[in-house]
Structure 1
Amino acid sequence: MEQARTYGEIWRAGARRLAEVSGDENEAEASAELLLLHLLGIGKAELLRDLREPVPEALRERWASLLARRAAGEPVQYITGEQYFYGRRFAVAPAVLIPRPETELLAEAVLAAAAEIFERRGGRPLGAVSGRAGGQSPEPAAQEDGGESAAAIRGETALRVLDVGTGSGALAVTLKLERPGWDVTASDLSPAALAVAAGNATALDAQVRFVQGDLLAPFLPGGGHAGERIDVLVSNPPYIPSGDLPDLQPEVREHEPHLALDGGPDGLAPYRRMAAQLGQLAAMPNLVAWEVGIHQAEQAADLLRQTSRWDEIRLIRDYAGIDRHVLALRFS
């Protein structure tokens, strides 16, 4: 067979090779595209423009290495070192889970619920919930009497948010960039994960504070941040039942960190611990928002009901119609 000579030819040949391994032609095509864009350091428009251009010999060995890693099951995101979340580029590494599209829905739900809570409490609205802004912050609220908006002063500036188990920092950084006035803290048990998250905050110019610790422990009596007020608690903790780990897709099981996957015997261990810890905080948050695994939403909601009296508990479905997020709201 004649050796592939152009960018278009190596793209197609690479996709065929990956499809032979995975059996999924669409996924193989997408993976080959992402790897080639990463190799060349260009966008898709430039790639389409240059499809007939010859491939320099100096790139062929690197291309073969990238394909071999993907064919062996390594996730594309770890190979390229990046994943987009809410329209922004986040660095990822084997120390953190790869951000998933369904977690973007959790960010949207938190933005909407926080605005609703503080509006019902008699404060000014926090502003319309923006879509994936691609790095653009929402427009400020209309000014009154020529001064700064009351919403920015009494609403956004006062709101304190904690993202527990932040991983790559995708949730914490996104919430901070979408609501610049919010005071956002992100915690994680893994120092390596915190290093990745802090790097993303710096790269995206998001002023997020990072705390190392196990779930809510740093914010309980005896912890270094005991007594701090938390208005919004958001978390996407490990939720895979321990017995299910061997059955995960190989690229997840063999490459993503088990510390961020293993949720104990039934996948609910982190939620039980957080629910028990809530009552030890200086005050109960006005909003608790969790991402959960399949068939876990009702059980997680019951844990919150047993912890405190909430005005409303909501279940949010993901793109597959699965109850994926649990929100507990307090309006007073």
Structure 2
Amino acid sequence: MTQSEVTYRPGMTIGEACLQASSLLAGVGIGEPRSNANLLLCHILGFTKAELLRDWHEPMPEPLFEQWAALIARKAAGEPVQYLIGEGWFYGRPFTVTPAVLIPRPETELLVEAVIEAADKLWPAADKGTVPSVVDVGTGSGAIAVTLSAERTSWRLFASDLSPEALAVASGNAARHEAAERITFVQGDLLLPFVPDGGGVEHQTDAASGLRIDVLVSNPPYIPAADIPSLQPEVRDYEPRLALVGGDDDGLEPYRRMSVQLPQLAQLPRIVGFELGIGQAQDVADLLRAIGHWDEIRIIADYGGIDRHVLAIRHAE
């Protein structure tokens, strides 16, 4: 029988509170229980990890214990720790996250790195006269757009999302990292806000309509609807369905729609970078090959060796 909740006792130290919570989380099958307990304790106490170690043997503040117990109960039920503390890290920066957006993943950092590397070759920093217009489709928390803007402050960034709640989070993250003036946020479905005249897109802006996009990057929904019940509970029960489901069939609906929309843009981007799901890389690469615009299309594996990104590059104007 596992312990059902953390309990306070007089004289309990911060370390004992952490270990008690770790044991409870492990007992209900939560992965990385000690790491989760540490993060939540740092959040409650306002500590860094170093300060947590420093004060490990100090008394646990009794006035904070009720709040601590509530957070551990939510974590034990499967709620992602990033939502509990309201923050996730991406590319070395903290990003505000809410249940309106996906939690940024480390593998997406590889997409950012690949886009920066490819774009730096096409638009060298020494050539001050030309900078790319970059669009992040399905921006969510804004992790990709804000990171690209922070890493390359001269680039012109646009970020779109169908969800106004996600755009509010992304806009806040842009302000948090002093990139708000360099990013234009647009509400809309995939590439429609950027198609000339928009085809009747309700939320299209003058700045987005007919934009000549140089770099397109997107981490769209790509999970087949039938696979949702088999996902980890942390994802299935808490992360936004709108940002997860890529259609009822094979999860490729957003890529198919964007492959149709791409030729409708004012110009085809010189770089397209997509993140995708397991087993989807060749199909997405084939969709881009069929357009016949890019002279290099390559597949990038993630840290686990899974083909996770497709990068298409047109080297010559």
Q: What TM-score, normalized by structure 2, do the two folds share?
A: 0.92
Instruction: State the 1:222 CA deviation.
Output: 2.3
Gaps spanning 5+ residues in structure 2: where?
1-6, 199-203
SS at match of 2:98: coil
SS at match of 1:298: helix
SS at match of 1:211: strand
1:229 matches 2:234: no
1:22 matches 2:6: no
Which residue identity does 1:266 align to in structure 2?
D
Give deviations 1:128-184, integer Å, cap 9, x for gaps: xxxxxxxxxxxxxxxxxxxxxx43x224xx210000000000000000000000000
CA distance in 2, matches of 1:8, 1:52: 6
Give the alignment's Cα RMSD to 1 decimal.
Answer: 1.3
1:246 matches 2:219: no
1:66-105 correspondence to structure 2 within 5 Å? 66-105=71-110
Q: Could you say which residue in structure 2 is the equivalent of 1:154?
A: 129
Q: Could you say which residue in structure 2 is the equivalent of 1:139?
A: none
Which residue identity does 1:74 align to in structure 2?
E
Q: Could you say which residue in structure 1 is the equivalent of 2:139?
A: 166
Instruction: State the 1:42 CA deviation.
Output: 1.1
Instruction: State the 1:57 CA deviation.
Output: 1.2
Give deviations 1:238-272, integer Å, cap 9, x for gaps: 00011101111111111000000000110100000
CA distance in 2, matches of 1:117, 1:317: 23
Q: Could you say which residue in structure 2 is the equivalent of 1:134?
A: none
Which residue of 294, 312, 315 corresponds with 1:328?
Answer: 312
CA distance in 2, matches of 1:56, 1:78: 23
CA distance in 1, matches of 2:37, 2:291: 48
Which residue of 217, 223, 229 corresponds with 2:192?
Answer: 217
Q: Could you say which residue in structure 2 is the equivalent of 1:122?
A: none
Which residue identity does 1:177 align to in structure 2?
A
CA distance in 2, matches of 1:95, 1:163: 17
Q: Could you say which residue in structure 2 is the equivalent of 1:142?
A: none
Q: Could you say which residue in structure 1 is the equivalent of 2:174?
A: 201
Instruction: State the 1:309 CA deviation.
Output: 2.7
Contact 1:162 1:230 in 2 (8 A): yes
CA distance in 1, matches of 2:237, 2:8: 35
Percent identity among equivalent residues? Answer: 61
Instruction: State the 1:221 CA deviation.
Output: 2.9
Which residue identity does 2:185 align to in structure 1?
F
**Runs of 4 or more above 4 Å deviation:** none
SS at match of 1:316: strand
1:6 matches 2:24: no
SS at match of 2:114: helix
Which residue identity does 1:103 align to in structure 2?
T
Contact 2:268 2:293 in 1 (8 A): no
Which residue identity does 2:161 align to in structure 1?
D
CA distance in 2, matches of 1:309, 1:72: 48
SS at match of 1:168: coil
Q: Could you say which residue in structure 2 is the equivalent of 1:145?
A: none
Change (3 A) 1:2 1:67: closer
CA distance in 2, matches of 1:2, 1:215: 50
Which residue of 30, 45, 49 corresponds with 2:50?
Answer: 45
SS at match of 2:221: coil
1:261 matches 2:234: no
Aligned length: 298
Instruction: State the 1:23 CA deviation.
Output: 5.6
Change (3 A) 1:60 1:327: same
Q: What TM-score, normalized by structure 1, do the two folds share?
A: 0.88
Q: Could you say which residue in structure 1 is the equivalent of 2:148?
A: 175
Give deviations 1:254-311, integer Å, cap 9, x for gaps: 1000000000110100000001000000011000000010000000000001123311
Which residue identity does 1:260 align to in structure 2?
A
Instruction: State the 1:11 CA deviation.
Output: 0.6
Which residue of 43, 52, 55 corresponds with 2:60?
Answer: 55
CA distance in 2, matches of 1:271, 1:108: 21
Which residue identity does 2:240 align to in structure 1?
P
CA distance in 2, matches of 1:47, 1:2: 19
Which residue of 290, 313, 317 corresponds with 2:297?
Answer: 313
CA distance in 2, matches of 1:2, 1:218: 54
Instruction: State the 1:93 CA deviation.
Output: 0.2
Instruction: State the 1:116 CA deviation.
Output: 2.2
1:123-138 correspondence to structure 2 within 5 Å? 125-126=124-125
